[in-house]
A and B are shown apart, each in its own frame.
Chain A
């Protein structure tokens, strides 16, 4: 092509506008300037003339042709074209942002901010749902194998328990860093709460899904709900906690030779279940039993299990224990109140080790006399330090780990201690009133105690004091009612009851003849060595005494029944 070889004019020349002039594209000053230039430029004049001739010939040679018939408005091609145009679907209307907003939205900064918000929202949502917690637990997973390996270090009898429960104390000892990271709690609390966390993580799993984990040595928790109060109590008194279960399953003869009522009833319930299960793994059965009765101590069968006692045997043992000399049946001290509280939550009797722990120090049975099992006495110590069969002089003494109680546990402890102090004060005051012969006031205080502390029951000393007071003040019916209760429940030595009954009879015989003579209180009870009665004789002779006795009878029956288990 020739135009490719020619050099394009770089500097605009007036002659370059000749083409524009021919085609009429020059306007204004450009047109004027070119016309002025063309008058003096022969070349431009010749070029314009030649181009004009060519154009005229071309116009004559290339007339505008009409389109063919097919493309006419009624033609086939035209129809097809319009049909194709009609088939096109208009686009869906899209709301268009204002140009200013669109400019803002399309900024990279806006995209980055939107991305950040999206990621942050996602992370927050996952965090709230707990999905990230799972990741956190998975990150701590390397510590789990070490825990799983610990069962080999535990004593052999522990195998009878769920492995998770036996492993936890070792876990607490072998992981000091974790103990620092978590709030300081008692070892028993860790024992309860640690598995509980695991259980929460896997709470959706079925029992069958959890069983392999238990058997595999993983620290799995039983489905028993966490009860911090119980855990604390277990730590203090060495009663119902997992460490006790471990120790009692540790082949101690006392545990097997002298089972407590709780053990007996547990076995009575567990053995049929085992038989029904076809002798499969006992761990699972026990675990299921714990599921059914969360407050019941899951006591594993010993290595050489004794024949399971029946319920009748358990009740017989209970009666023998109640008849033992010095047995303070029904005399519930502070610990007894707590034990009774637990017993009230569940229909199951309180386990023997807890009964032992709940007895006041210095009790006649505290030194291992009678049929009380000795193993639970060192349960708490063994649980913490793993020292087996260490004698525990003070079972109710606070544990060294109590210093590590968190705020909540400490608060609970303080509340319980304050309640105990109040109970002790009221009891002391009531006893003083009874000794002074102010039986009504003493009764009121005892009622107040029972009202404010529902699990409180008068112990034997208090009952005897009230009975003696009522006898002295002439409330013979009320005194007789108390003595009858003592005889019914058989919670007191027959000799003591007989002595009190004789005293009542003597007083009644001495005073009854004089009663009809005066309806007013005796002005000078010279014959009575006891202090003057504070109550009016009319009150003594009035029917309210049997009514009161009836009211008390309603309370006494369940109280006596519960005392039989709680002592």
Chain B
């Protein structure tokens, strides 16, 4: 830091809006793709685990094991294998979403009361109809809670992907470059934007959950 220079150089920010925008887009890419892949994989695994309870333990064990790998190590290990392609970042980021999503999806399905299922059966629903019309809507609050947590987690983890270099660095790249050049404007901006993105996503999912499941908040005082 240069002595006497202001902490935030707004002129620099104004002159580099394009570059900053690119980092934001990259960060969204590093968040949305793993999240979508994670949702698809976890949904398949969850439906499987609900139908075959024996599968729950092993799936939790494997996804839990993936979850314990430090992200820094996962990126570092995959770099020599996939090089500087997007895959190196996407594989660990997707893997980290699985434990949270799978667990919450299964919990969502299990939260459906048995008598509701029986009522659906009594009404003549087939297994598939029951899954789509009864179980899925009732599982939605816990499922969205899982997606919310996974998205926030992924936004945070994606900042670490910057150690892979600047090809798709995202906001972590702004932080890393700012630190390397002793330029607080850059790293503080990267940090502030990633915080804003995470808190914004968190808030968005809270709103979304309320909109799609109005019945859970019908009473005053419900969260």
B is bound to A: no
Which residues of B pack against A, CB within 8 Å?
Answer: none
Give A contacts to B, CB under 8 Å. none
